Structure 1
Amino acid sequence: MSRYSRTGAPQRGGRWREHRQVIDALAFKYRTGCPWTDLPAGFGSRKGGHNRLRRWARKKRPSRAA
């Protein structure tokens, strides 16, 4: 498959990693205190995990107290 679409523009992005893998990476990072650059390769891209954390934090809305 070509990296270009039918219009000739380059394709960007790809499939997201599963949420479970990202959550495991976040738990490991905060449990061990390691920097993003030291995450084991089994957790996937450190950039992807960091970006997903930022995205989730930005979308979080305060919950209502019942």
Structure 2
Amino acid sequence: MSRKVVDFLQFVEVTNDIGVNIVIDNHGLSTLNSDKSVNLLTQTMLTIGASFASMELKQTMERMNSGEKST
């Protein structure tokens, strides 16, 4: 969905605010509980996942840039 943690979290917050539940079926996750309250466990897991995606992007960019410098 996004490689920037802030963008991703803003997207999830907007969908939560308007009552849209994001369901990740293969992991059994949903962003809202049945009473439409925020599912804090899912939010935490999504935040961690987005952080890892961001870290991976930064590492990939660093590797690409270091390869350009050595040639």
Superposition TM-score, scaled by structure 1 size = 0.32
Structure that is richer in helix per residue? 2
Superposition TM-score, scaled by structure 2 size = 0.30
Larger RCO (CA under 8 A, 6+ residues apart):
2
